[in-house]
Amino acid sequence: MVTAAAAKELAALVQQDIDALRPTRLFTSGGSSKMPEAGQQLQLSDAYQIQVELRRLREARGEVCCGFKVGCTSPTIQTTFGLSQPVRAYCWEAERRQDQATLSAAAFRSLAIEGELAVYVIDSRPTDVLDWVVEWAPVIELHHYVWDGTPPTSVELVGRNAIHAGLVETAVRSRGTLKDIPSQSMCAVSVDGELVGEEPLAALNAGQGFPGGPVGTFSWLAEQLKAVEATQPEDWQRLQQPDSVVITSSPAGLYPVAAGDEVLVSCCGMEVGCTVVAAAKL
């Protein structure tokens, strides 16, 4: 396992590359997933340590963490990355956009989108997470969809904050307890008016012991954050704060988009959309 000092140093290196929209030197082919000075192969636990340091670095420069994302809930994707469970990462206030936003393709490294259900914490006082009062609504998750290592690895995925690049949200939400979220609702993604993916929320799979759908992925995340509370209390505290957002993973696919594309995601009787343009500045 990398030391705390090394994780902090590596996180600074990774964030510099993310900010510059260039290949992350830590993961590029030839030096993929290795400690530059020692040649030590990084493990998934190291990647999560780097991810925590990425959060601390961004907060130190004034950014606000607004919640979390869950990803890799498909058994096929998990097999591809050598995972036995989903992954988690952070969401940032500065990367939130509102319904019908216009996105610049030039502001991303190979922009791709997913249609998901977001869960917003309203009241986390009940002991059982399933009884937390929440709101939910469809979102469009944004990604820097390019891999710097060959082949792509779970270490790169987690170490780059799960290639998360933001989300597009709607102000229209439903409310209830976590267990009230309708897992049989379909999540549909359309690009330029053409349906490109549609799956039930129940397809989300957080693993044995968790129900299908957003209820399961949210519960998995809560269990993960509670388990590391002793060393990362800020994460569990963040989850419990009112209006913390959790992107609960995509039941459908991940779709590259380009300038000129119009995206629409619908789920649970609500919808959210955005338009992609080429301009570097809007």
The per-residue pLDDT for range 6-29, each reduced to its tens digit, is 999 999 999 999 999 999 999 985
**Per-residue pLDDT averaged across 228-245, rounded?**
96
Please indicate, yes or no, if residue 87 is contained in any of the structural domains: yes
Query: For position 220, what pLDDT does the model report?
Result: 97
Please indicate, yes or no, if residue 187 is contained in any of the structural domains: yes
First to last CA, the chain: 43
The per-residue pLDDT for range 134-145, each reduced to its tens digit, is 999 999 999 999
SS3 of the chain: helix, strand, coil, percent, to 5: 30, 30, 40
The per-residue pLDDT for range 23-54, each reduced to its tens digit, is 999 998 544 444 555 446 899 999 999 999 99
The per-residue pLDDT for range 104-115, each reduced to its tens digit, is 999 999 999 999
Please indicate, yes or no, if residue 206 is contained in any of the structural domains: yes
List residues bridging with 135 in a β-sheet.
Answer: 120, 175
Split into its structural domains, the chain has a count of: 1
Percent with pLDDT over 90 in the chain: 86
Please indicate, yes or no, if residue 52 is contained in any of the structural domains: no
Q: What does pTM read for this prediction? A: 0.94
Q: What is the mean pLDDT of the chain?
A: 93
Query: For position 5, what pLDDT does the model report?
Result: 94
Query: For position 218, what pLDDT does the model report?
Result: 98
Please indicate, yes or no, if residue 183 is contained in any of the structural domains: yes
Query: For position 117, what pLDDT does the model report?
Result: 98
Residue 163 maps to which CATH number?
3.90.850.10
Query: For position 78, what pLDDT does the model report?
Result: 81
| Three-class DSSP category at 217 | helix
Query: For position 83, what pLDDT does the model report?
Result: 86
Please indicate, yes or no, if residue 48 is contained in any of the structural domains: no
Query: For position 35, what pLDDT does the model report?
Result: 52
Do residues 229 and 182 lie in contact, with contact meaning Cβ atoms separated by under 8 Å? no
pLDDT at 159 over 60: yes
- Is the dihedral angle over the CA atoms 152, 263, 276, 58 positive or is it negative? negative
Query: For position 38, what pLDDT does the model report?
Result: 44
Distances (CA, A) of 71 to 107, 145, 178: 22, 14, 19
Query: For position 41, what pLDDT does the model report?
Result: 83
Please indicate, yes or no, if residue 50 is contained in any of the structural domains: no
Please indicate, yes or no, if residue 25 is contained in any of the structural domains: no
Range list of β-strands (E), 49-127:
65-71, 87-92, 96-98, 101-104, 111-123
Domain extent at residue 103: 65-277
